[in-house]
Structure 1
Amino acid sequence: MAKSGVFEGDPTTVVKAVELKKELQKMVRAIVDEDDVNLEALDRAQQMLLALRELKLKKTASLKLHNHHYDHEMASGTVPEEFKCPLSKELMRDPVIIATGQTYDKPFIQKWLKAGNRTCPLTQQVLSHTILTPNHLIREMITQWCKNHGIKLPDSVSYINEEGLTGADRDHFLSLLGKMSLTLSEQKEAAKELRLLTKRMPSFRALFGESLDAIPQLLSPLSQSKCESEVHPDLQEDVITTLLNLSIHDNNKKLVAETPTVIPLLIDALKTGTIETRSNAAAALFTLSALDSNKALIGKSGVFKPLIDLLDEGHPLAMKDVASAIFNLCIIHENKVRAVRDGAVRVILKKIMNRLHVDELLSILAMLSTNQRAIEEMGELEAVPCLLSIIRETSCDRNKENCIAILYTICFSDRSKWKLMREEESTYRTISQLAQNGTSRAKRKASGILERLNRAVRDEDVDIFYQGVAQKCTGWLLLNLRNDKFVKVKNTVAVAYHSLKWSPVVFAPSTKVYCDTAILSPYATAAVSRTTTTTTTTLSSPSATAASHDPQSYLHQAVAMNKETHAFG
């Protein structure tokens, strides 16, 4: 493990710092390598930097001593180095020896090992075992030194460490779990206390991860009820909130999500109970979905319909938790498909149009816009005017960026929306202003839309020109097909009709010129037999394969031929 530097002192802090650095390294590499980085990635990197800063500023001493003189001695740095724990940099109270022969303070090396480390923090040697042997000699020397300096050293069980748990605490925890299978009043009392303990003391959250039976015991009053009406609403609220609290602990996330009864009970809680129960169930799903493996597990459980229904209800207490859960889950592709299928686009757009929780919901909509069905629904639900108006109204760069990213996808997927975008640009210059003043990603998306719209205008101008020429050319051909003087022209047009089955004939992009098939048809059969003997034709004979024909080339030849014969009538 790399040196932790300023993060030395608390093994849990060391592990968190290393993990944060690894994640930050990946994020920075992605930001540097990716051309189309969105603001969420930058915000995530910023959050990781802030978390590292918090760890750096955190006091390395997790042990709170109750003696002022001892604090003074520690601050002055007079404690002999051999009496300090290599992890905490504090005077050891319960020195123990590990397999490599190094001495550490017991609670700190226990936390190091509990975090999954199987090496010596100082030497990085792999430990042959994790047995901790008391170092009585160092303990006696520390005690004597404290006496000589007038410092009172608390017993190892009386000082407060970050875990904050004693044997009595563990016994109380087990007794509370035992009450979850007793009478309703005892269940309610135990659930309420577990809720408070897991809220105030992170160490109690960790206890749930030490036993495979703890979570099923907690949930037993809910899972054993035959129907939802049998569950007392207060009991349900306390149990679900306790589940949320213990899910916050990183080491619990996988265990909680993979406990068979958890996700079904969270889905039930989304549908029933108090609004706080429903909101906390959504928050628990959000917390659990931090792990990618949990995202897939939760997504395929049928969670999106109740989440979207709760979002549709629009209760202020639940909106942010529900939106956060949907956003986290939709990071993986298969969950986007599920969310769109269960009606997320309609509900989210309705809320955005009413200007409710626009920030969170726009982020979800932008994420869903990579799904083709979602884009089709946005077009049907008049998303374009709404998104353009938000760009005009908002001062939030992230919202502008999300809006223009969605519009970019719509622009390249649904040409029927070009007119709306052109009208907006003509009236307000909304897109061009964002192309000049937006974030780097917003500028790219806005410029891409403008380029596509301008190219479409040029194509339409060409289409209009060819449509006029084609109409004149078709009129001339139909007029002269009745004249035997132009039999060879008839042959060629008839062969074209026969081989390409032009009905209608396509002369130019987006322009369909309908020919009188009643006039062309009589010539088709005869023309096929004569084509092989025709040595000179006014128009080039079509090739044998219909797929190789370019209808526009016939038009150009007809125009050239006309210059030598007649003017278009």
Structure 2
Amino acid sequence: MIQKFDRADRRILSFPAVRPGESVEPAILVDSLIALSRAICGFQPGLFATQRRNAREAVRQVRVLLEFFEDVRERGPALAAGSVSAVLLCFSELHTAFQKIRFLLEDCSCEGARVWILMRSRFVAAKFRVLVRAIGTALDVLPLDSIDAGREVKELVELVAKQAMRANFELDRRDEYTMRQVQSMLDYFEKGIEPDRGVIGRVLEYLEIRSWSDCHKEIKFLEGEINLECSEGNEREAPLLSSLMAFMSYCRVVLFEVLDHRSTQQADVAQHLETLSSLNPEDFRCPISLELMTDPVTVSTGQTYDRSSIQRWLKAGNITCPKTGERLTSTELVPNSALRKLIKQFCADNGISLANSGRISSDIARTIVPGSMVAAEAMKKLSRFLARRLVFGTTEQKSKAAYEIRLLAKSNIFNRTCLIEAGTVFPLLNLLSSPDAATQENAIAALLKLSKHTSGKRVIIDGGGLSPILSVLRKGSSLEARQIAAATMFYLSSVKGYRKLIGETPDAIPALVDLLRNGKPCGKQNAVVTIFGLLLHPGNQCRVIAAGTIPLLANILASSEKDELIVDSLAVLASLAENADGTAAILQTPVLPLIIRFLRSSASKTGKEYSVSILLSICSNGGRDVIEVLARDSSVTASLYSLLTDGTSHASKKARSLLKILLNSNERNRSRLS
């Protein structure tokens, strides 16, 4: 059987050709050769920004052979006795070479890979030469006399064999010149010098990169290649890929003023991903070990590390913060219980064992430092450019600058650092009052990305950013802007002191509750998660209850089909139920049967644990009547017994305590009856 490959099955410039089996029928092999030949001949010259002559020559030779194979199939692949194995061997060699040529042509015409193919021009030209000569070698030993085909066709095959052996697939002079120009510009960036924009423009025109979205595709491709290299443990090409990605980011931001239609569609996708639809692991990694933190602690600089990692750092005699380089004023390690709860919830919901958390992708953590010196210098210049645009640009330029920051800071910690240090936070805060909905949304989304950085949180709060962000949360131009503002509040609330500040700010919690009432599912999700973060400050519990949160959470449990939203709503109720006033408010809603149902049927272990926590708090704060109601429901005790063996250690402990309360209640009732 002859296997076909899809573009997604392989890395670019890799050639996983599959050699046909020895038992393949001649007719099947010829059919497959025809299909491959037609696929190769379908590559038109206009598809190639580089390697045009080499691609054209390879296609030309395969086109001649396509005529030969079609003639063989039309006559029937009758082979002379004694030559079958020799012909099949040659056809198999041709089949393998054709597969690789098709892969090479796919790569040379791959959307988004133009600058990378340009920088690998020497390798690509050499590969064309090797593959075409492999065709010549196979044809040279092919016993044409034993194959039933027309004389003229056979003569063409002989001609192709000679040409293939002599073909000189060299690096195109224009490709080589452009490649050297790109390398020269990378050298300029490394020295802290901005290249001439006219030269950049000519390079992009040669590569047919003519719009914002064309440039964006190059960046996304390079980013994907970097992630693949690092995931495979082979980072040999990563510095060059990082340099090119930074160069193309500079081009996208500086040279292309207009966000074309295709990029607008990409923005819609990015917007969806910027909501807290689920907990994000990027903030759960220790900056030292790059693994999920099992015991997060905060040092005097405000940075959080896994306890074992920072202890090893301190025992080695270090007196500075590993991430910021600041001198530690104290070696005290303060437990970050809020983050620990979030990590625990994330792991439970995603079936992750903390013992094996190192297997989770560390793409984000890897970006703490730049991928190359070129990337570092280019990003610094780009950050200053964007900061100037935010202040002095036109309305359209300011909106685009905010959108560029939104993209650059999305998954790169070093980029966030540069953008914050360049002073982008204050002008972004000013843009939150823009009457233009797109500008406001881009600004709040950019601030969301920067708020994930410790310095970003501090600059936002110190710069009076809480008030304009709250204004967007309350009356933003769109529901999308409001839900992004809620997500930003969530990241700000991850700092212990800011939870108190946000809770005490008038209208902050009511605005979140209003989004919980009127928002879309993602907006409700963001509001619930942010409220959960604020509840980690005990003083906020009464404010959350007074804002009417509990009836809205009860409605969510009754009507929502979104598992993440249900689990997070249970988490908030579990926190509120620890308060006597919270228990009283919960009992005033028809939520108790729903909690029992989730305890009995939820697939989420975390959901079950929160359900048990709520019931345990209700029994502790709600009095004997509530206990007796639960004790009479046999499904409750059955679910609790199940958790003793199948639940997490915390869930099992809570289930045991609740069972004891319910069993004691039943025992008292039996004693009274007797």
Give the TM-score normalised by the residue count of structure 1: 0.53
Q: Determine the C-alpha separation between the residues in 2 that align with 1:438 and 1:17.
A: 32
Q: What's the CA shift for 1:205?
A: 2.8
Aligned to 1:176: 389
Contact 2:432/2:472 (<8 A) preserved: no
Matches within 5 A, 1:353-502: 353-356=558-561, 357-414=565-622, 415-425=624-634, 429-461=638-670
The letter for the 1-side match of 2:555 is K
Residue-by-residue CA offset, 1:269-298 (whole Å, 9 max, x unaligned): 122321221111111111222211222222
- 3-state SS of paired residue (1:175): helix
Q: What's the CA shift for 1:18?
A: 6.4
The letter for the 2-side match of 1:215 is V
Aligned to 1:100: none
The letter for the 1-side match of 2:454 is D
Q: What's the CA shift for 1:310?
A: 0.8
Contact 2:367/2:413 (<8 A) preserved: no
Q: Determine the C-alpha separation between the residues in 2 that align with 1:408 and 1:429.
A: 15
Aligned to 2:498: 294
Aligned with 2:511 (options 306, 315, 320): 306
The letter for the 2-side match of 1:402 is Y
Residue-by-residue CA offset, 1:493-530 (whole Å, 9 max, x unaligned): xxxxxxxxxxxxxxxxxxxxxxxxxxxxxxxxxxxxxx
Aligned with 1:343 (options 548, 572, 579): 548
**CA 1:50–1:431: 2 relative to 1, 3 Å:** closer
Q: Determine the C-alpha separation between the residues in 2 that align with 1:389 and 1:288.
A: 34
Aligned to 2:172: none
Q: Determine the C-alpha separation between the residues in 2 that align with 1:61 and 1:27.
A: 17
Aligned with 1:191 (options 381, 402, 409): 402
**CA 1:354–1:189: 2 relative to 1, 3 Å:** closer
**CA 1:193–1:446: 2 relative to 1, 3 Å:** closer
Q: What's the CA shift for 1:461?
A: 5.0
Residue-by-residue CA offset, 1:419-452 (whole Å, 9 max, x unaligned): 3312321798333333454333333323322322
Residue-by-residue CA offset, 1:83-109 (whole Å, 9 max, x unaligned): xxxxxxxxxxxxxxxxxxxxxxxxxxx
Q: What's the CA shift for 1:163?
A: 5.9
Q: What's the CA shift for 1:364?
A: 1.8
Aligned to 1:215: 425
**CA 1:407–1:274: 2 relative to 1, 3 Å:** same
Aligned to 1:3: none
The alignment-based identity, stated in percent, is 22
**CA 1:382–1:214: 2 relative to 1, 3 Å:** same
Contact 2:287/2:365 (<8 A) preserved: no
Contact 1:179/1:190 (<8 A) preserved: no
Aligned to 1:267: 470
Aligned with 1:17 (options 257, 271, 288): 288
Contact 1:208/1:252 (<8 A) preserved: no
**CA 1:294–1:38: 2 relative to 1, 3 Å:** closer
Contact 2:473/2:512 (<8 A) preserved: yes
Contact 1:424/1:430 (<8 A) preserved: no
What is the aligned length?
346
Greater Rg by CA: 1
Q: Determine the C-alpha separation between the residues in 2 that align with 1:436 and 1:363.
A: 22
**CA 1:56–1:431: 2 relative to 1, 3 Å:** closer
- 3-state SS of paired residue (2:657): helix
- 3-state SS of paired residue (2:554): helix
Aligned to 1:252: 456
Q: What's the CA shift for 1:402?
A: 1.0
**CA 1:395–1:189: 2 relative to 1, 3 Å:** closer
Q: What's the CA shift for 1:51?
A: 6.3
Contact 1:270/1:307 (<8 A) preserved: yes
**CA 1:435–1:361: 2 relative to 1, 3 Å:** same
Q: Determine the C-alpha separation between the residues in 1 that align with 2:509 and 2:655.
A: 32
Q: Which runs of 5+ in 1 are unaligned?
A: 1-5, 66-158, 224-229, 466-569
Residue-by-residue CA offset, 1:333-366 (whole Å, 9 max, x unaligned): 1122221121121111210122442122112221
Contact 1:62/1:161 (<8 A) preserved: no
Q: What's the CA shift for 1:307?
A: 0.9
Aligned to 1:156: none
Q: Determine the C-alpha separation between the residues in 1 that align with 2:388 and 2:666.
A: 76
The letter for the 2-side match of 1:219 is L
- 3-state SS of paired residue (1:236): helix
Q: Determine the C-alpha separation between the residues in 2 that align with 1:258 and 1:49.
A: 39
Contact 1:299/1:338 (<8 A) preserved: yes
Q: Determine the C-alpha separation between the residues in 2 that align with 1:345 and 1:265.
A: 27
The letter for the 2-side match of 1:339 is V
Aligned with 1:324 (options 522, 529, 540): 529
**CA 1:204–1:60: 2 relative to 1, 3 Å:** closer
Q: Determine the C-alpha separation between the residues in 1 that align with 2:364 and 2:517.
A: 42
Q: Determine the C-alpha separation between the residues in 1 that align with 2:370 and 2:418.
A: 20
- 3-state SS of paired residue (1:165): helix
What RMSD in Å do the two structures reach over aligned CA positions? Answer: 4.1
Aligned to 2:379: 165
**CA 1:200–1:297: 2 relative to 1, 3 Å:** same
Q: Determine the C-alpha separation between the residues in 2 that align with 1:198 and 1:304.
A: 28
The letter for the 2-side match of 1:438 is G
Q: Determine the C-alpha separation between the residues in 1 that align with 2:515 and 2:355.
A: 31
Q: Determine the C-alpha separation between the residues in 1 that align with 2:442 and 2:498.
A: 23
**CA 1:376–1:264: 2 relative to 1, 3 Å:** same
Contact 2:367/2:414 (<8 A) preserved: no
Residue-by-residue CA offset, 1:209-250 (whole Å, 9 max, x unaligned): 336x64332222445xxxxxx722122112111211221223
The letter for the 2-side match of 1:270 is L
- 3-state SS of paired residue (1:231): coil
- 3-state SS of paired residue (1:246): helix
**CA 1:426–1:177: 2 relative to 1, 3 Å:** closer
Q: Determine the C-alpha separation between the residues in 1 that align with 2:620 and 2:631.
A: 14
- 3-state SS of paired residue (1:429): helix
**CA 1:194–1:443: 2 relative to 1, 3 Å:** closer
Give the TM-score normalised by the residue count of structure 2: 0.45
The letter for the 2-side match of 1:217 is P
**CA 1:464–1:290: 2 relative to 1, 3 Å:** same
Q: Determine the C-alpha separation between the residues in 2 that align with 1:365 and 1:195.
A: 33
Contact 2:406/2:445 (<8 A) preserved: yes
The letter for the 2-side match of 1:265 is P
Q: Determine the C-alpha separation between the residues in 2 that align with 1:256 and 1:48.
A: 35
